[in-house]
Amino acid sequence: MKTAWLTVLAEAETFIRCRPPEQIGCLYYSPSLGRFVAPGAAGTEDAVPHYGRPGGVLPRIEEA
């Protein structure tokens, strides 16, 4: 587990360093998938930055 955790931390640091400074703290939303995604993942070419704002967003709970 420690090895997996250290790998994830290294990947996160690399990802963060690659992002433009103005995108710090944002999430990425894919309109075609209708959900938040990790940019660069397959099928997320349309991902756009989504910035937080006062009031936020209410979660949507779906049945599996």
Q: Give pLDDT tens digits for 15-44.
A: 888 888 888 888 999 999 999 998 877 878
Confidence of residue 2 (pLDDT cuts 50, 70, 90): very high
CA–CA dist 24, 1 (Å, integer)? 28
CA–CA dist 26, 49 (Å, integer)? 6
Q: What are phi and psi of 25, to 5 degrees?
A: 85, 0
Q: Is 12 helix (H, G, I), strand (E, B) or coil?
A: helix
Q: What is the pLDDT of residue 31?
A: 92
On the question of pLDDT at 62 being above 70, the answer is yes
- Quote the pTM value: 0.62
Q: Average pLDDT, stretch 35-62?
A: 81
CA–CA dist 28, 37 (Å, integer)? 6
CA–CA dist 64, 53 (Å, integer)? 29
